[in-house]
Chain A
């Protein structure tokens, strides 16, 4: 049974820091992995999609990596800003999306 874990559950950093969010999964037989952002009380916004054959994807200040053999993905946020404060969810796709519980990020001015 596929399980997805995100560490840490919460993170507070000062503005300007570079940070890494971690995601691990137990079954490497995935089609792809997707990172989402969720603001309080809102839906999910797709940030990055990494296909199972890819190692990383970049969008602006965000970079996501995927290591299927070790069952790990990281989301790197460069030069964090208060507007980055949100919950970040990773999900692996194997027929359906299986989500971690998310990392709640607070970036303090």
Chain B
């Protein structure tokens, strides 16, 4: 049973560029959330997708957008990259009810130069 898979694992972008990160949820999971983790900090919630709709959103600017496909995979897009966007981006998957364990992928390391 494959867990949560993310790609790419590492990438370097230049300020002002755009980036797309991808996530495939754990088998059977239909809810995908994205988190940003800066070095030495706990992860911060970006947004959550369920049934291809953004269900809730954290305190991130509109430069951060996402998408969920019918097969439940998801993308995180960040436009107009800033140096401060450098972080580990984590994808999490779960079933929609709140009593279930949430599983995380290995993350995508983004460096903005």
Task: Give A residues with C-beta under 8 Å from B.
Answer: 4, 31-32, 34, 36, 41-46, 49, 51, 89, 91, 93, 95-102
Contacts and interface: CB of A to CB of B under 8 A. Distances in A.
Contacts of A4: 42
A91 B45 CA distance: 11
Interface in B64-107: 90, 92, 98-107
Contact of A36 (B41, B45, B100, B104): B104
A92 to B, nearest CB: 11
B105 A34 contact: no
Which size class do B's interface residues fall under? 20 to 34
Given A32-B98, A42-B106, A46-B104, A96 B56 contact: yes
Interface of B: 4, 6, 33, 35, 40-45, 48, 56, 58, 90, 92, 98-107, 109
Contact of B48 (A34, A96, A102): A96
Given A46-B104, A91-B42, 10 more contacts: A32-B99, A34-B102, A43-B90, A43-B105, A44-B90, A44-B92, A49-B101, A96-B48, A97-B35, A97-B102
Most buried by A among B45, B56, B102: B102
Nearest to A89: B42
12 contacts: A31-B98, A34-B102, A36-B104, A41-B109, A43-B105, A46-B102, A46-B103, A46-B104, A89-B42, A96-B33, A97-B35, A99-B43
A46 B105 CA distance: 11
Contacts of A34: 101-102
A14 B5 CA distance: 35
A50 to B, nearest CB: 11
